[in-house]
Structures are given as C-alpha cells and as structure tokens.
Amino acid sequence: MTENSEVSQLVKILGLNYGEKYVNKTDLSKLRYGKLMIMADQDQDGSHIKGLVINFIHYKWPNLLKHDYIEVFITPILKVTKGSDVIPFYSMPEFEQWQASTPNWQKWKCKYYKGLGTSTAKEAKEYFSNMDRHRILFKYDSIKDDLAIQLAFNSALADDRKDWIKWHTEDVNQKRRENLPADYLYRKDTKQIISQLVKILGLNYGEKYVNKTDLSKLRYGKLMIMADQDQDGSHIKGLVINFIHYKWPNLLKHDYIEVFITPILKVTKGSDVIPFYSMPEFEQWQASTPNWQKWKCKYYKGLGTSTAKEAKEYFSNMDRHRILFKYDSIKDDLAIQLAFNSALADDRKDWIKWHTEDVNQKRRENLPADYLYRKDTKQISFNDFINKELVLFSKSSTERAIPSIMDGLKPGQRKIMFVCLTKNLIREIKVAQLSGKVAENSAYHHGEQSLTNTIVGLAQNFVGSNNINFLVPAGQFGTRLHGGSDAASARYIFTRLSPLALALFNKYDEPLLTYLNEDGMSIEPEWYCPVIPTVLVNGAHGVGTGYSTDIPSYNPLTLSNNMKFYIRQEKEKRRLANDPTEQPKQYSDVLTLEDLVPWYKNFTGEIKLLDNDRTRGVINGVCAKLDEASIEITDLPVGTWTQYYKENVLETMLHPKRNDIQPSILDYKEYHTDTTVRFVIKLSQAQFAKFHESGLHKSFRLQETFKLTNMVLFDHHGILRRYKSPEEICLEFFTVRLHMYVKRKEYMVGTLQSQCSKLDNVARFIKEKIENIIIVENKKISAVVEMLIERKYDRDPEKVWREEAKKQFAVDIQTSNGNDNPDQLADLQQKQEDDEEDDDDDDENKKPKATTASTANKIDTTYYDYLINMSLRNLTKERRNEILREQQDKHEKLEALLKRSPEDLYEEDLAHFEAEYHKAIAKERADEMSEVAHYTTKKVGDGGRKKQLAKPQRAETKPAPNGQRIVPVIDPAFVKKVAEELAKRNREEKVTADKRTIIDFLVNEGISSDEITQIMQARCKEKKKLGGTTEKKSSETTKEKKMDENSNSSIISMEGKDNSNDDVKEETSPKRIPKRTVKGKTIKYGSDNDDDNENQENESDYNGSDSESEIKIKKAKPKPKVQLAEKNALNVLMQNRQNKDENKTEKPKKPRVKKEPGATTTKKETVKKETKTIKRPKPLAESDDEDDIAILSTSPVGNKKARIQRDKTDKKNYHISDDDDFD
C-alpha cells in the first residue's frame, strides 16, 4: 500500500516520516498540519474510505490516534422537506428511526445525497459556515479503539469479523422487533443545541451589550423561557440564566429575560378551580383550608400535561403568565454565583441549610411561606428566583440523593417499598408492571425508566450490591461481571417482596408512621423504622447539591447484636432506677458491643480499618501464588467489577498503550462465573520478583482505600447531618427505634383493649337478647339507643379508640376487623379514600341521629351500629360460642402484652429477623450446591436402562487448592497520608452565628457587580493554572521557605491535601478569631456544633477582651509553625477586592507599629500587617477528591499546600483555601 503513488503523496503532504513514533504530543510540531480531516461521502462507501485512512495511520503511526490527530467532515446523507421545514439526516438508522416515529412521513419529500458532489454551492456554504456541527473529532478512548481497528482490517481476524457482522445483524433485528431506537453516530449534542440557541438569538461571543441600544443588534428583544413549572423546570431556568449571565452579564441588567409560568397544580370542587404556581403556595392553602381533602387535585408535571383548552387560556391571559426577570442590584449577581459557581460549593451547603431552618421555623410559628408568582406579580428579581424557587430544586436534588438515617432509603426507593408493603406483594410481579403501580399509587412525577432501575437495584444481590435485597430477583437482574448493568429489560424480569424485608419492616409499625401527602393523595411515610439500621446494612452513595454521602455496608448480624446490647443496657438502667439496691442480673448469654467494620456478603477479601485512624481503611482483593511464574486472583476489591478489571488493568499490563513499554505480564486466563472471580496470570520470574517486592496487591490494583468521613444523612427530624462514625448512627437509630416500640405498645394495648371491650359488649348483648332482656322489635332506633345507654352499653369502643388514637399518634388509624388479620393494614391508601367518601356521605345525606330529649347529651346513633346492625347469625349457639372464645383469646393477648416491656418487643423482632436471615443464607447455600451438583443421564445397554452419573464440578472456577495466599501489605505512603489528615482534622472550626445571607454579607463589604464577574472569571483561570510535576513543586516549596525566612510578616498557610509530597510537616491548628463587627452588626465566628457547652468553651478563649461595639484586632506574632487558614470560598471575593484596592494610587494609612525593646525601625523596614481571616463552617460532606485544591495567590504556588505572603500594607486580608467538592 505504501508503494501507491496517492498514498506516497498524502504522506509527503502531511509531513509524515516512516519509522517516527510521535510518542509525545510535542512531536506533532514536526508535521506540516496539526490535524488530518477526512472529507468523504456520507454513504457506506465513504465510511469505507474513512476506515482505510484510519487503518493506514494506525498501522504506521498508532500514536497519532492517541493525540486526536484525525477529524472527519460530515454532510447529510438524506434530507426531508415539507414546505419550509427541512430535516437533515447524517445516517440511515437516524432516518429509519424518524420514519418509525413520524406518522404520515410519506408526505415529506426525500432527497438522497450520494456524495459531496450532490450538494449545491449554497448547501456547501451552509456546511462550512457551521463547522461546529459538521466537524467531528475522532477521540482515542482506550485499548478498545485499537482492538476495534484490528477487528475490522486485520487479516488474522477474518473469522471474528463474521461473528462481528452476525452479532450486529442480530442486534439490529432484535431492536426492530422490540421497537427500540437504533444506534447511530453524529447525534445533536448539548454543545450543538447551545450553538443553535446563540445563533437564533443573534448573540455574539465577546460582545458586551453595555448600552440598551446594543440590543438592536439582536434578532429578538426578549428571551422567554418556557419550562416545566416543577423543580426540574426551575433548574432549566437557572441554567439558562447562568449561561447568559456568564457570557453576557449586561443583558440581565437590560431586562432581557422573561419566563412563562403555568400552574403546577390545580384543585377543583364543582365549578370552582384554583390554580397554584408553586408548591409552597399550595401548602399554605392546605393549611388555611378546612376539609381541603374534599377538593380534587391534579398535578401538572410539565407543559405537556395541559390540554389544548388550558393552553389557550394561558396565552389569552399573558399578563398573568408572563413574568419579567428584573435586575435589582448586586444581590442578583451574587445569587447566581452562589447557585452555580464551583468556588462556592461549601456556601451552597449553608444556603440549603439556612433555607431549611427558615421553612421549619415558619411552620412552627404558623407563618406564611415565601413563594413567587403571586396574583399581582409582574416581575421578579434574580435574587428572589434563586432564593425562593431554585433553592427548592437544590433541596429536592439533595433529598433524592441522600437517604434517611432511619430506613436508609431515598424517596424513590421508599415509594417502591410503600407500594410493595401496602399491597402485600408476596407474589411475583413483572418489574415493568410494578413501576406502573408505584407511579400510580405514590405520586411519582419522574421518568418510569429511572423507577425501573431503582427496582432492579433493590433486588440485586451480587457481591458489592446489597447485603440484604428487599426484593427477590426472579430473572437476570445483573451480575458482578458488569456491576449490574447487564440486567435484562424490565418487561422480562419479575420480583416480589423478600421474606427478610417483611422481617425488617414490621407491619405493626405502619399505623405509627407519619405519612406524607402529595397532590391530595396520601403517599409513603416520612421514613420507615426497620429493626436494625438498614442504612448501614446496604450502605449509601449519592451526590446532591452541595452535599454528598458515602457509607459502606456492614454485617446485619453484627448490627443486630449491637442493638441487643443497647437493649440490655436500657433494661439494666430501668431496673436499677426502680430499685438501686438490686444486684445486677445474671444473663445466660454474654453480649458485647462488637466493632463495626465494613462487610459485604460473599466477599472473600480483607477489609481493615487503620489502627491509628478508624475513619480510614483498605479493601484488599485475594491473590495467591501458584508457582514461581504464575499467580491467581480469586476476588477483587468491592466495587471493582470483573470486566472493568480485565479491560483496565490486565489488558493494559499485557498490551501497554505505548510501544516503548514492555508488557508487565506474559498472559492471563479467565475462569469466572456470574458470582465468582478467577484470573490465572502468567509471569516471568523477574516480573514476579519485581511485583512481590513492591507488593502484589498494589501492583495489580487489588488494594482500594475508603474513608468514613463523609457519612451524611437526613436525621429523624429531616435535617442533614454528618455522622462521625457508624456507632453514632447506631445510637441515634436505637433511640428513635426504642421510642417507636414504646408507641407501638401503647397503640397495641389500646387496640386490644378496644377489641376486648367491643367483644364484651357484643357477648353481653347476645346473652341479654337471648334472655329477652333487650327487645328491639318494632322500636325506633332512638329508643333502642336510649335503652342501650340506660343499660350502660359502651359506644363503639373501636371507633372511639380510632378517634382518640388519631389525635394521640397524629396518624390515620386503620379500621380493625377484630380478628387480628395480618393484612388489616395492607391497603392504607384505599381505606383513607373510603373514609373520605363515608365522611362526604355523612355530611350530605346523614344528619346526626340524636336520642330523645330526655338524654342529657345528644349521642350519634352510629356509635351503636355495631350492636344494632348485628347479624341474626350471631344469635346462634355456634356463633355465640365462637365470639366467647375470641373474647377470651383477646383478653389473654392483652394480659400477655401488658407483661412485656418495649425492650421485650424489640428483642422478639430481632430474634425473628435473625431466624429469617439464617434461613435465607441457608437457602442461598443450598441453591449454590444444587447448581454445582448437577446430574446427567446416559443410556446403558439395549434395555434402555438409565444410570445417573454425577457431573464433575467446575474445579477451574474455584481457587487452586495448592495456592499460597499472599498477605496484603498496606501502602506506607497511604498510612502516612492518613496520619497527616488526622492531624489536620483536629482544628477549631468557626461559623457565623448571625444567620444573615451570604449575599447580604458581601453587599455590606461594598463589592460591585462588575467586580463579581471579574473575580469569578479570574478565579476559574487561577484554578486551571494549578498543577505541575513533583519536582517543580519541590523547587517552588524551597523558594517559599526562603521567602518565609526573609519576611518579617507572619505566614498563613492555605490548607490543602497533597498526595505527591510526603515530606509535609504537621501543621498547627488555627488561632481563634475574635468577633467581627460590620457596619454596627456583630458577627460571631464560633463552632458549628449543637453542644452549647462546647461553644462556650471555644468562645471563652478569645471573647473575653472584645467589645460589642468595637473590634480590637490583635497583631499577628511570628510563629515557628505556620498557621492554617480555614476553608472559605467567600474569601475569593474579599481577596480579589483587597488586591484591587491595594493597586490604587492612594497612599495607605500608616499603621501603628509596636517596637520591641532595643529595636530600631527605619522607613524602609516592612511593617507587620493586621490580618483577619474569615472562617467557613465545617462542610457536612467533603469531597472524595481532596487533592484538587484551588488557591488564590500572588505568590509562587509551590504545591497544593501553597502559602500566601501578606502584602506590605496595613489593609485587612481575607484568605481562601477551598476544595472542589461541588454538586
């Protein structure tokens, strides 16, 4: 091929040299062109030409592909037109998908473009004028790219190409049968959509639009956002506003943006219709409207929910639905920065926290909620939109991502469990059908595909997924080979409630839970209350706005044992409180509080917490030595899936991406099942010795680290909290769980007493009726009721109890049928709806049936229906004896219940759970053995007699019996890093006690709008500059040390984490900072802790000499050790303003300098500068990526622990060191 004249010309034109490796990207400077763009026809022949060029470059210069050297210019292969509408298609599958989704597509005119020559000059001009759409880069991703090229062109893989074509054909046919969308390239991505939006509006990048007259350059005078009215729609509005503000901030000042609002919810009653444009508005109406349940509610998820008639109503009343975004002040700029700027990630935590506290306080004080879009609203500010509407999305995204401490469930998971438990789904149901039931019965407003994935996640049980799966996986729910992503489609798999879920979520707790209400429908409870903390059983992972959480899984039996230990402690406390002189009780078994170490079912590796820091640990896979030239890997760290490990670890060791690197291993073979892992790896003796010296677990990436410093959960009050240890989670859970048992006993006692009283009255009534003491024939109901009252019959005890319990427990108590039916609480929602209908009937058709005037109090006769409406069958001997037996049984149960304490009830539930757990484990083991011990049949002799022969076990999938297991060694660098981070966590942390908004704080500092924009853009550029090699960091660190020695001013170190530099000395904690007064207001910087005593201790060290009206700033003294500056992204703003002020020509005021005894001062000497540091509240959720520290500094950046030297002025400096843990 290289002898071809055309190929030789191409090589010469590009400046390529045979034999050149082009290893580094700098080697591309030797070429004549920085890119090679392929412009071929868009049909299949053109695709072949593209492939040949790519294969030639890959064969001769494979590294060029890794440097993203090749691009392709695409043009439409087909266009359809209908009038002025034109739709281009860049592949035939894309056109076929459009055909399938478009009715009457035959009415469109189609034109096929064979090649570039088919396009007209006008069309070609359009293509080249929109290069972003037609210029596609070939991006090298992984070794998969090399293998794909080899598969397509290597002659040795001819048979594999047959399978390749066959599989592709089968996949296409299957998708056609199942009506699934086809896969194709050249889709319209987000960047393309944004480019089109900018083009439509006529916006120009770089244009300032300073004056309002500049708007005449645009194609439209306004930009109207028409998004859904729910929280996701608010997010879309915010993203559009942020984009415009980032690129053209002046447009916001010219009132360029509007929004078109539609109702998110409507309530109707007869002909009365009330629309609501926000959920807080609807909640306020609920609180102020008696019997609001009688109104019919309809939720409008998006614009598509509205009918054509409703849409006409909206557009006919534009004044109500057209809202202008009015720029007010610098608060608007700051609000947008607060919501979207990555530098203010930790401040978003405070933003969400303060908003939650404000809402809760208003609810406690019965104050009206703040919401936008009131009846007379014509315009709103960006600040109000961010703080009243967008914050609701931020809170919602956090709630959807972070579970509750009580049940470990996120809202979507809780909705699924609610439907499964209330519908008692113990029979298999198709996953697709279950998702429909959940959406119907729990007011689920998001995509059902997401709900389907959640159902599959609750049923998965492979290693690393769930220690206890709440749903049974009846079908292919995914394996550890691909981490569960290989699950079958939802319409093929079935599920049901698992027995362990029924043992964890006791049905007797359901009447005591607080059920939520949405769209007028009673839905899932605020949280369930299982018998053990399930959040620790299955772990939790999630990322919300400002917050994230990462909790590993633990052994359910260990958690159950610790719950029993806490129970026994409570028993002893209560027993000794009743009789202090009593001796400790001797128990038959000894309970100890077991250490909580992460644990995953069926994981055979090792999980170890570090001795000096129990918030960090390592997870080790399993590897063993078979001989001097081979090892086997029989388990991987939790979360590392088999296929991923093969492609990203072993393949890169066997086939390095760079040609100048020798393979690290000779070969490997796989012997996996869907539940087990086994790699057998061949090595040379030299390679084995090298890996053994450096550590096999580290070399083969079989050692992963984890931390327990980001355990963020919603507590039982619904407030976000960060927990320091799993033991702290267990203690809070146990306290609430035990209180629930106290309530459960009260409820069960009241229920049994009402049932006993009712049966007593029924039995007595039957007896007196048989004895003709009571005669009801031919009497008015009022007379019968008066007779029953005179004979001291009770009003319906169960009905009276339900009314009392509803007030006492603040929940809707379910109707009891008096026979202890286990399904009596199965359908909560249906019973509530029935009760509402009954109430309507009573109001409209029934008036209270009072007794005669001789009765002192008018009594509702319906309270005696349980006697008056009694069936004649109850007067028979058999039924009478049955009632008497039931009466006796209820009294016995009541007596037994009264003798048991809440702790006894808890222990019974734990014993039942442990029994079910052992039963489930035994069943799993039996199923595994049945899969291994298969039998086959074979004919023997002419008689056709069959003999059973045992099928041999697949021994190759199990660890080799002669393998020597290698003990993992923890990386010393990791141990050292943990020790350094542990020292850093022992610092004092401050927050502002005055809960003013961040925006108000910055406005009081006098920052202008233009400064904010410039500051944030400079901030992003500064963050991008950070980095460099270890050698560079070391040299810059040395320079910093010299600067420190030559400087008379003290140094404040920017706190950070640095993995590359292990020689960092332990740093001291920051000094406490006095109160700070801003414009007459005192702001306290104290500890963010609920313990008041601790706050007092912290403040006593530095508040004693401070005045409320005046700040006495103490001058910083030189310290032998550097001082830490707290993380605070807000200091970015303050630091930039400080730098700007210091560049002014005004002469700074001369500060007073206290001379040391015997010292002399000259004019040229540097004076110490008074320094003030704003400290941020400790973030509830820290980022996993602690190495990415952004620093605002004018001094050389030595490493990510860079230091900032004070300027030689008397101005205050605000210092910043914040991490990139955002959203």
Backbone angles phi, psi at 1106, to 5 degrees: -90, 150
SS3 readout for 301-322: CCHHHCCHHHHHHHHHCHHHHE
Taking the C-alpha atoms of residue 184 and residue 1118, their distance in angstroms, rounded to an integer, is: 66
Q: For tokens 């040395």, name the residue.
A: 1038
Q: Is the separation of the CB atoms in 1176 and 346 below 8 Å? A: yes
Strand 223-225 to 964-965 pairing: unpaired
Cβ burial of 852 (10 Å; 0-12, 13-18, 19+) is exposed
Instruction: Indicate the helix (H) or strand (E) that contains 712.
Output: strand 711-714
**371 Cα distance to chain centroid:** 26
Q: Which bin fits 267, alpha (ψ -120 to 50), beta or left (φ > 0)?
A: beta
| Cβ-Cβ contacts under 8 Å for 419 (sequence gap 6 or more) | 425, 434, 437, 438, 441, 442
Token readout for 322 is 């057209």
Is 492 annotated in the active site?
Answer: yes
CA pair distance 475, 367, nearest whole angstrom? 52
**DSSP type of residue 756:** H
Environment class of 678 (CB within 10 Å of its CB; exposed 0-12, middle 13-18, buried 19+): buried
User: Exposed, middle or buried: residue 143 (CB in 10 Å: 0-12, 13-18, 19+)?
Assistant: middle
Angle between helices 1009-1025 and 330-340 (to 10 degrees): 30
Selecting among 371, 492, 566, 1085, the annotated active-site residue is 492
CB 494 within 8 A of CB 428: yes
- DSSP per residue over 781-814, as a string? HHHHHHHHHHTTPPS-HHHHHHHHHHHHH-S-PP
Measured in degrees and rounded to the nearest 5, phi and psi for residue 297 equal -105, 140
Amino acid of residue 220: Y
The H or E element that residue 1123 is part of is strand 1123-1125
Q: Which residues contact 595 (CB under 8 A, 6 or more apart)?
A: none
Q: How far apart are CA 922 and CA 917, in angstroms?
A: 9
Strand 1123-1125 to 1051-1054 pairing: parallel
Q: What burial class does residue 672 get, using C-beta atoms within 10 Å of its C-beta: 0-12 exposed, 13-18 middle, 19+ buried?
A: middle
Across 745-783, b (16+ Cβ under 10 Å) vs e yields bebbebbbbbbbbbbbbbbbbbeebeeeebebeeeeeee
Q: How many helices (H) and strands (E) does the chain have?
A: 41, 40
470 phi, psi to nearest 5 deg? -70, -25
Give the three-class secondary structure for 277.
coil
Quickly count: other Cβ atoms within 10 Å of residue 671's Cβ.
Answer: 16
Give me the residues paired with residue 1204 across strands.
Answer: 1052
Task: Read off the DSSP letter of residue 356.
Answer: H
Nearest to 663 by CA among 695, 690, 636, 628: 690
Instruction: Tell me how many degrees the CA angle 519-525-528 measures, rounded to the nearest 5.
Output: 160
Q: Can you read off the two tokens belonging to residue 117?
A: 């020559």
Contact 1167, 1154 (CB under 8 A): no
Q: How far apart are the first and last CA of the chain?
A: 53
Q: Tell me which residues are annotated as active site.
A: 492
